[in-house]
Structure 1
């Protein structure tokens, strides 16, 4: 990333210390990928302040070292926690989002990255047109062994609102994680028990984010999703998330009822 911190922040309006968007990123063994992710965040061109909140779960590779170098270069933008003990993906993810200061949270794991420098600005502009909508997402390009494949979640030729039943029945892969922007208040309202014990934590984020105003689909591909990266601390691949959510989809009536009485 060649832009300096001041060059990134010069277009921001308002108090630079009060980010509108928090880019929340969890990492584990992402040494080969994290630079590409961080560069794509720092390339964002916005008229509002944003922060990058990174939590590394005691990676055995050089992930923490790479993050530390970025944090030293961008101390007013990047806030990193480099754990000395592995706590697991769910706890790391929950505490990562709790550190966010922004009104909105943009999600992207450390092995994925964004491809459009206007992504944050585009999504925030669209979400402001739908004030009752707490979550937005968009299509992403699948990357397998370094080769771009299918466009995932390309549901419509125009913007659309999907209801919470559609999100639940769509399963975990319905909304790609690196495409999500969600209001922090919606994340804060998710009971920890849903996330700590969830087979796929981002699935519940999608559901709770779409409960009140649906999920806003934006018809523009703006991210890369590495579908075959193995998360060694959980012993599952990203593609296996569809298996984990299958039983939840079968229990749709009970799940919808539980969500209704929990809010």
Structure 2
């Protein structure tokens, strides 16, 4: 079987209520290129795995499964999934989200093929609750609408994209990423925008579900120090930043200031000490 142009990477754990909708959103895509769907299940204890196996049997030429033999945790499951594709492009999302535009992949792949200086494209989202009911727009919508083209200078301040809307070039070595960083999509956006620009589509390609698991805000705040350390370590080895240390330092101090509002001052001092990574 030839290497597909794009791999859809879907991560899941106990998403029995939503996983069919997630998979159907992929299967409905209208594309003119070869693709595959790789699904990593972290040893679900509900009916998720049975549903995955059902779809894999129905679509053996398109669906591959990574079935963990025990619960390895979200971070390890994510790394096992993301280092699997050998395709030129990757689309990534989680099992409680789904796609609502049947031309999503075609639009995004067409853009990346025509614009080789871009490594990531993403879009607006339809935010829904656990019942699938639409709710208010996410604040990122207004930021991205004003800044449709972003680079690393924006990515170090904000995660910039919803993972369920993303398609990106397969240019990141996932084996080298720190597994201490829980919010893997944030560090992924940083590394992608170090290699090219990010393009925002002011269209709703996907539905992003809130309330079905660990809240995003708790994850972002809890592991902020890991993300800052990751940023410092990654940027310190990039020669391209030798002339922009003032930008990097300012960005890090900004993040430390934000984080200090929700944590203990001793951790702030500890993190500030890590500035030595960038001189």
Report the TM-score when normalising by structure 2.
Answer: 0.77
Structure 1 unpaired stretches of 5+? 1-15, 231-235
1:203 CA displacement: 0.8
1:128 CA displacement: 2.0
- Root-mean-square deviation (Å): 2.5
Q: Residue in 1 aligned with 2:62?
A: 77
1:162 CA displacement: 0.4
Instruction: Summarize deviations over 1:123-175 as a string: whole Å, max 9, x none.
Output: 111112320211111111111232211333324558831011201101x3x31
Structure 2 unpaired stretches of 5+? 242-279
Specify whether residues 253 and 222 from structure 1 end up closer, same or farther in structure 2 by C-alpha distance, changes over 3 A only: closer
Instruction: Summarize deviations over 1:58-98 as a string: whole Å, max 9, x none.
Output: 00111000000000000000001222211111111111122
Match of 2:127 among 116, 119, 142: 142
Specify whether residues 141 and 242 from structure 1 end up closer, same or farther in structure 2 by C-alpha distance, changes over 3 A only: farther
Alignment of 1:8-47 (within 5 A): 17-47=2-32
1:227 aligns with 2:218: no
1:158–1:219 contact (8 Å) kept in structure 2: no
1:260 aligns with 2:244: no
Match of 1:133 among 118, 123, 126: 118
Question: How many aligned residue pairs are there?
Answer: 238
1:163 aligns with 2:151: yes
Measured in 1, the distance between the counterparts of 2:106 and 2:147 equals 16
1:215 CA displacement: 1.3
1:245 CA displacement: 6.1
Report the TM-score when normalising by structure 1.
Answer: 0.82
1:168–1:252 contact (8 Å) kept in structure 2: no
Q: Residue in 1 aligned with 2:162?
A: 176
Structure whose CA Rg is larger: 2
1:237 CA displacement: 2.4
1:54–1:81 contact (8 Å) kept in structure 2: yes
Specify whether residues 25 and 242 from structure 1 end up closer, same or farther in structure 2 by C-alpha distance, changes over 3 A only: same
Q: Residue in 2 aligned with 1:10?
A: none
